[in-house]
Structure 1
Amino acid sequence: MKQITKLLYILFILLTAASVNAQQTKPTASVSGLLHNEQEKPLDYATVTLLRAKDSSVVKGTLTNDAGNYLIDRVTAGKYIIKATNVGYQPTFSAAFEVSAAQPAVNAPLIKMRQSSRTLQGVTVTSSKPLIERKLDRTVMNVENSVLAAGNSALEILERAPGVTIDKDDNITLKGKQGVTVMINDKLTYLSSTQLAALLRSTDGTTIQSIEIITNPSARYDASGNSGIINIKLKKNKQSGTNGSLTAGVAYGKNFRDNTSLNLNHKVGNLSVFGTLSHGDLTRENIIDINRTVISGPTTTYFMQNTLMKRKLHYNNFRVGADYNTSSKNTLGFVVSGDHTNEYNNNKSVTKIGSTPFVVDSVQNTPTSVNQTYRNIAVNLNDKLVIDTSGQEISIDLDYSKFKNNSFANNDTYFFLPDGSVQHPSLFLRNQTPSSIRIYTGKVDYTYPINKTLKLEAGIKASSVKTDNDLRAEIESSGTFINDTSRTNRFVYDESVSAAYFNLGQTFKNTSVQIGLRAERTVSTGNLITYSQVVHRSYLDLFPSLFINQTISAKHEVGFNFSRRIDRPDYDNLNPFVYYLDQYTYEKGNPFLKPQYTNSFELSYTYNKNINVTLGYSHTTDASVDVLYTDTVKKATYKTNENLQTRDNYNININTPYTITKWWTGNLDVTGFYQKFKSASLYGSMLSNGQAAFQGRATQTFLVPGYKFELSAFYQSASSYSIFKLKSQYAVDAGVSHSFYKKKMNIKLAVSDIFNTRKNRLSTDYGSTNLNLVQKNETRVARLTFTYNFGNSKIKARKHQTGAEDEKGRVKSGG
């Protein structure tokens, strides 16, 4: 509570200073006006520039609001013209007008803008964004109009983003590095890898506009995520009035899937209201084959395990909000989002055990059923005050998020001899695992353009997180279930983070420089209540950043950036609960896991705004990775997380869109990387493991009258990670879309992994662990999606980022 009080006090000081500053700099005169298109509709968020009439020199600029109005203050006497620009429209100039001291408020002449289009053999072609777009500090994947996005979930679309891979456990990797922070609409998800996978799997791909990949974020962002940030932008409303879209889709691989979503937007006067509702039913299969060898003294035991996992997911997601313009400079808003998901898992595992290879001495049959419910809700209140037209503004965010997960699991094990007779009595286990996470955050961001070339950004943030995980384990004895004291456990984790940052950016003629510094103080307590074991930590860290961009000529640009990052452990990775696949295979968390720190460097080159090349290097200390341990007494293998000494990553990425003809375009993205892991004490011996690897994706787009075809191919070479060696994989996707009924309706057909080739294959032979694993998900899926757009098509909601993004990114949500 003290942190929130301090936050509000600093906020009051900033608002007071801003108000005094605004009062002390009264403008000589102001210029206002209105922008329309050819249909007499207002053009919102268009760029308006005030020019001197005598030489067209730039004085200052601004953006139009939702109603197409603009206001430019602090204008001295003289003759001026207005230049208006907007995406998809021709640049337009107003007639000349005069500003004088005798007339403090001037209404500029109305400007009507014409849409920019050209005719090609009777077909009107309008400008559209490329699938992959490279910007100064990020790479953008524009999936809104992509055929391959139709019917896919957000997780499946993310897997197609440049440099992104998703492993068998749904961990997201960027350019060969784990530890990615995922945001949705500039807001942290506060979910760990498992929960995040469930959320993304239940997010309809048709609601996504673009995916932004930020490999080296500035000090404005939370310092978590050694691989950078992936920001998923959902579609936003774009015009006054009422509009919306309805999407319905079906899919089939080995199992049937369906999805529907409704998006509605309404704007009247100063009030904008928006909402999205999504529903889906998803069934998929996952086959895992594990062969492992356990050496215990003079005895060697061989395990051959085959598991069929069938998962059914029924989800309902919603997101509603509103923005209200209390004045031309201030906007209040709120957003409420929620997730109501039921998941049913039925796993069938058969393990053959022998003392010699391929000879079976006994068989274990382990059917497992897991029913889980996810009930998540997040509330954001925000306020944005534009202090003046120079760009000075302040924004405030208050967030509350609550995640509830309840899991019921039955794990039965039957023991047989090779001839099918019973070896010994069956083992029956069951678990109930209620867990909850509550997150409170507050943040303030302030932007102050000191002059035309120098800008200051500063802000503060406070967050408080509490997780409560209660594992209630039971074992069957004499026909009744009793408490299993060896597994029952309760783990409570509290964490608070206080942060402050500044960015200072300077623009020269051909050079731009930005330096930043972020400070974060973390206080955490992990309480393993059952065993009265408490882990307390308190630490203060500084995270500097530096960005330099140099324009050499019209066709050549180079850049350099540096940042320091932190990865705090996911909440579930700290939880020491044991989760069984069978009595010989399980996983558990590590309450002593420490945060890892990464220094990242990146050098970039852009040719002709088209070909992009980046060279990157990062050094991580206390690197947190998945490892396997083998209990040679119980002959069980289990997965957990450990801190290794260091991890070094070298990478190069080449991305280029290209045009072969007017109807054939494409994009090529290739990433090469080498990462080395070192540890002096893993399994009591030295670890030094590294391997060079590469991955690439080529996408082709073909346009014919009324139709759009896309073809995408992916390949990843063999690589290594921690103690594991991973084999190569590849896949080919294809899709076609057709728009009709005045382009208000669209139908898309897409097939992912056409040749059903994508599978995960890994192995390890380190210490006492010898294992080979092959995992085949249900990747070949055909999807048919129908979309109907209705109402006005250009309502535009205010872009907004809440303050709870970093904490949400560490919550796990099943899947």
Structure 2
Amino acid sequence: MFKVKQINTYLAKKICAKMKVFRTINFSLLCFLCFVSLKGLSQEVTISGTVVEEVSGQPLAYATVVIADKATKQSITGAMTLEDGTFKVTTEASNFLIEVSFIGFQTKTITTYSINNENVDLGIITLTEDAEQLGEVLVEAEVSSSQFKLDKRVFNIGKDLSSTGASALEVLNNVPSVNVDIEGAISLRGSTGVQVLINGKPSILTEDGGALGSITADMIDRIEVITNPSAKYDAEGTSGIINIVIKKDERKGINGAFSLNTGIPDNNSFGLSLNKRSEKFNLFTQLGFGRRVYPRDSENINEDLDTGTSIVSVGEDLRVEKFYNITLGTDYYINPTSVITLSGNFAYEIEDQPSDINFKAIDASNNVTSEWNRSETTEATNPKWQYELVYKKDFADHEDHDLLLSATGNSFGKDLESLFQDTTISGTDRDNTQNTRTDYSDNTYTFKLDYTKPFSEIWTMETGAQYVINDIGNDFEVQNLVDGVFETDLGLTNNFEFDQKVLGAYLIGGYEYEKWGVKGGLRLEQTDLTTTLVTTNESNNQNYTNLFPSIHTSYKLSNAISLQAGYSARINRPGMRELNPFFNIRNNFNIRQGNPNLKPEFTDSYELTSIFDIGKTDLNFGIFHRFTTDVIERISVFEDNVNISMPENIGTNSTIGVEFNTKYSPAKWLTFNVDFNYNQFNRKGTFEATIFDFNGDEWSSKLMAKFKLPADIDLEAVGNHRSRVKTVQGIRSANTFLDIGVRKKILKDKGVINLSIRDVFKSRFFENFITQGNSEAYSWSRRGRFVAIGFSYGFGKGEAMEYSGGKRR
């Protein structure tokens, strides 16, 4: 065809040369007519049509259309369908065929067509789902997998069986390098200084670890673990950032799934997920409601070594929850490169929190001198709002050239009332009645701008800014029953206000070419914090500005081996719970309170990671070092066998550790995932003339085994072990626990029956020993075994899910 063009052009030039004598308008016109007539010897044909699904009739966007030579089957040209399924492609070939294909559908080949006026109108082209191909895709999607990028690790969430009916906390506990203890505290590589984000932004749900229970396993697309964040990210979090990315289904048509779950202890819920996609809009919603019960057993012993006296308390408490939540959102596609997203979430919880604790006062001869019971009746309502407006612009010159603007608001309220009654069983009169009232509100507003500009395929610039406003109030009142009338205890009552504003801006330059890449940046953050005790008119103001540099590099030694290295500076600002000096009086012999004078922690973080891709095995090995100043530790002080713990800034902590994780599939029916983390630390610090200098180490490991059994049954077992570790004032015990899950697909893989058992042997517990001066404290608690069974069904193009609609604490 190229030769034909050459001949045509050559002849046109010859004709024009022969006619040079005509230097008039007629000459120009004649040359033009000759060229056009010769050009017409090679005809250009336009092929057009619309590709749709056979069953639903919905258009298929991004289907592939190939024009190939009929004789050789070699591709000539091609195109992809637009959002509405239409396509248009041109060719100068005269003997061609058309192939239309899309993942999950049977390829259609068209060899018969009509050419009318150099146009081929194929009309509506229907594609049929390929059941075998779809089955293969779904099987691959079952398994969670890790992916390494220059400055983070991405853990893509599969349908892990032990996460049936589980919350984000259980899912996080299966992510390499991440641990979640029984109280919901999240740690990364053994450190609790972690910032948890949702879709890259702070959320009210991450302020309290337990609140993450309102995000369920089926809602999560992936979890990004950023152990050494670049300057692009908020500098908050001394040990790194965990970013939970929520799914947003964008398949065309109406798609969805529902689930029903029940379990022991009482655990009943219903969840529904719906999505409708059209050319301009993507509408999505998730609904959930149910009732759950979370029991906990606990034991505490406070002992005065000088007098030999002690207070022993053994009890149990329940958290009974009714919950309702709804998410609504829409994407509006302004044009092919711009989209606006508006979404909102509302959750409402009704809580009943009864507890029953038996106390004994024991003398030096081990005799019980007094015994009494403390019962609690607590009712609370928790409304939660989250709303977000996002604008994203993708520029046409490069796929990574984009602009993102977002505004997010989070609001959480708690209206709580508790009644405590002490009833004497024997010995000293302990009868007492107390009433507490809590009016809590937490409002967070985040405004963010991110801009990425690639100057070439190897040079990239990133810049942006963020402004976060935290406005929190905690109005807390304690009343004592005196002569039949409740009187306010002024020593325990106050209104604490927390107002923090953080303004940040960053600039990053990146270079990445073939085997080597580097990314360096600098972030500036200015913090303005004011805390106020309204009743006593006491305030504390902190205003500081900091620079946070970061640098990351990677080198590909071969197709199987890569190296990554990084450095970043981090900050851990104390939050409302650490700063608020007032406390819960559930157990008035073990009191936790905050410290409004706390300063932030600062950390320098270094790491080197090697990545191996060897056949059936992915293996990752890394070493890391963190140095933290003004470390925040809880310090216990004892008085009359009452343990009062308060956070304080205690010296420095230097940690060096190793991390290893791998995935190995020795057979098609068996896959292992292994995660191991070990670190040694050196603590130095002094508090009120007490020196806290010591060395210690800790380690944790996780083993996940997945089995594919006959009859399309899947089995998964996840074992966890956390070592004993020395703390500033004592020791935290080791523990080992196991979660298992079983799944069976039914109804042509549209339905799924799941069974999960978390903490199979009831061996997951929290145990802590504290020694301070001449006093000792022992604490132990356990949630126990949870069994859940569920059924889910997907309709449209939706897939069955494990949505539980509720929360797990």
Q: Which amino acid aligns with 1:487?
A: L
Query: Is the contact between residue 174 and residue 180 of structure 1 (CA under 8 Å) also seen in structure 2?
Result: yes
Change (3 A) 1:367 1:85: farther
Query: Is the contact between residue 195 and residue 237 of structure 2 (CA under 8 Å) also seen in structure 1?
Result: yes
- 1:399 maps to 408
Task: Kindly report the root-mean-square deviation, in angstroms, between the aligned alpha carbons of the 2 structures.
Answer: 3.6
Query: Is the contact between residue 88 and residue 127 of structure 1 (CA under 8 Å) also seen in structure 2?
Result: no
The Cα shift of 1:118 comes to 7.7
Query: Is the contact between residue 151 and residue 259 of structure 1 (CA under 8 Å) also seen in structure 2?
Result: no
Report which stretch shifted further, 543-552 or 640-649: 640-649
Does residue 1:135 correspond to 2:144, yes or no?
no
Q: Which amino acid aligns with 2:153?
A: T
Between the aligned residues of both structures, percent identity stands at 25
* Cα shift readout 1:494-535 (whole Å, capped 9, x = no counterpart): 111111112211112210111111111011111112222110
Does residue 1:358 correspond to 2:366, yes or no?
yes
* Cα shift readout 1:450-482 (whole Å, capped 9, x = no counterpart): 111111111111122211111122111110101
- 1:271 maps to 281
Q: Which has the higher contact order (CA 8 A, sep 6+)?
A: 1
Secondary structure of the corresponding residue to residue 155 of structure 1: helix
The Cα shift of 1:231 comes to 2.1
- 2:706 maps to 701
- 2:229 maps to 217
- 2:513 maps to 508
Does residue 1:770 correspond to 2:762, yes or no?
no
Q: Which amino acid aligns with 1:408?
A: E
Does residue 1:320 correspond to 2:328, yes or no?
yes
Q: Give distance in 1, aligned partners of 2:50 and 2:652.
A: 57
Query: Is the contact between residue 413 and residue 427 of structure 1 (CA under 8 Å) also seen in structure 2?
Result: yes
Correspondences of 1:18-29 after superposition (within 5 Å): none
Q: Give distance in 2, aligned partners of 1:636 and 1:64.
A: 72
Q: Which amino acid aligns with 2:414?
A: N
- 1:457 maps to 462
Gaps of 5+ in 1: 1-30, 50-60, 73-81, 96-106, 796-812
The Cα shift of 1:321 comes to 0.6
- 1:532 maps to 537
- 1:379 maps to 387
Q: Give distance in 1, aligned partners of 2:605 and 2:87.
A: 41
- 2:626 maps to 618
1:196 counterpart (172, 188, 209):
209
Q: Give distance in 1, aligned partners of 2:47 and 2:735.
A: 58
2:190 counterpart (152, 155, 176):
176
Q: Which amino acid aligns with 2:515?
A: N
The Cα shift of 1:36 comes to 6.3
Does residue 1:732 correspond to 2:752, yes or no?
no
Query: Is the contact between residue 713 and residue 732 of structure 1 (CA under 8 Å) also seen in structure 2?
Result: yes
Q: Give distance in 2, aligned partners of 1:47 and 1:369.
A: 63
Does residue 1:487 correspond to 2:500, yes or no?
no
Does residue 1:229 correspond to 2:237, yes or no?
no
Query: Is the contact between residue 143 and residue 158 of structure 2 (CA under 8 Å) also seen in structure 1?
Result: no
Does residue 1:249 correspond to 2:254, yes or no?
no
Gaps of 5+ in 2: 1-45, 67-77, 90-97, 112-120, 801-806
* Cα shift readout 1:654-691 (whole Å, capped 9, x = no counterpart): 1111111111112111111223332122x521102332
* Cα shift readout 1:227-258 (whole Å, capped 9, x = no counterpart): 21222233321411111110111111xx2111
Q: Give distance in 2, aligned partners of 1:548 and 1:87.
A: 35
Query: Is the contact between residue 204 and residue 259 of structure 1 (CA under 8 Å) also seen in structure 2?
Result: no
Secondary structure of the corresponding residue to residue 368 of structure 2: coil
Does residue 1:714 correspond to 2:727, yes or no?
no
2:298 counterpart (279, 288, 293):
288
The Cα shift of 1:210 comes to 3.1
The Cα shift of 1:299 comes to 2.9
* Cα shift readout 1:274-299 (whole Å, capped 9, x = no counterpart): 0111223111211111122125xx53
Correspondences of 1:400-799 after superposition (within 5 Å): 400-418=409-427, 423-424=428-429, 426-608=431-613, 610-631=618-639, 634-681=640-687, 683-704=688-709, 705-778=711-784, 780-793=785-798
* Cα shift readout 1:714-757 (whole Å, capped 9, x = no counterpart): 11221133323111111122211111222111111111222222
Query: Is the contact between residue 608 and residue 622 of structure 2 (CA under 8 Å) also seen in structure 1?
Result: yes
Correspondences of 1:2-13 after superposition (within 5 Å): none
Query: Is the contact between residue 405 and residue 448 of structure 2 (CA under 8 Å) also seen in structure 1?
Result: yes
Change (3 A) 1:765 1:383: same
Query: Is the contact between residue 63 and residue 70 of structure 1 (CA under 8 Å) also seen in structure 2?
Result: yes
Query: Is the contact between residue 100 and residue 109 of structure 2 (CA under 8 Å) also seen in structure 1?
Result: yes
Secondary structure of the corresponding residue to residue 127 of structure 1: helix
Q: Give distance in 1, aligned partners of 2:429 and 2:468.
A: 53
Report which stretch shifted further, 403-412 or 387-396: 387-396
- 1:5 maps to none
Q: Give distance in 2, aligned partners of 1:427 and 1:676.
A: 46
Change (3 A) 1:158 1:651: same
Q: Which amino acid aligns with 1:227?
A: S
Q: Which amino acid aligns with 2:654?
A: D
The Cα shift of 1:65 comes to 7.3
Secondary structure of the corresponding residue to residue 157 of structure 1: helix
Q: Which amino acid aligns with 2:140?
A: S
Query: Is the contact between residue 88 and residue 126 of structure 1 (CA under 8 Å) also seen in structure 2?
Result: no
Correspondences of 1:342-353 after superposition (within 5 Å): 342-353=350-361
* Cα shift readout 1:684-718 (whole Å, capped 9, x = no counterpart): 21102332222111111122342211122111221
The Cα shift of 1:209 comes to 3.1
Does residue 1:258 correspond to 2:268, yes or no?
yes
Query: Is the contact between residue 413 and residue 428 of structure 1 (CA under 8 Å) also seen in structure 2?
Result: yes
Q: Give distance in 1, aligned partners of 2:50 and 2:140.
A: 20
Query: Is the contact between residue 185 and residue 209 of structure 2 (CA under 8 Å) also seen in structure 1?
Result: no
Q: Give distance in 1, aligned partners of 2:87 and 2:649.
A: 55
- 2:201 maps to 187
Q: Give distance in 1, aligned partners of 2:451 and 2:100.
A: 27
Q: Which amino acid aligns with 1:155?
A: L
Q: Give distance in 1, aligned partners of 2:708 and 2:262.
A: 25
Q: Give distance in 1, aligned partners of 2:79 and 2:138.
A: 29
1:165 counterpart (175, 179, 183):
179
Larger-gyration structure (1/2): 2
Q: Which amino acid aligns with 1:402?
A: S
Change (3 A) 1:69 1:581: farther
Secondary structure of the corresponding residue to residue 650 of structure 2: strand
Secondary structure of the corresponding residue to residue 592 of structure 1: coil
Q: Give distance in 2, aligned partners of 1:178 and 1:430.
A: 33
TM-score (norm 1): 0.82
The Cα shift of 1:130 comes to 3.5
Change (3 A) 1:471 1:794: closer
Report which stretch shifted further, 479-488 or 460-469: 460-469
Change (3 A) 1:443 1:33: farther
Change (3 A) 1:460 1:554: same
Report which stretch shifted further, 579-588 or 322-331: 579-588
- 2:167 maps to 153
The Cα shift of 1:762 comes to 1.5
Q: Which amino acid aligns with 1:287?
A: D
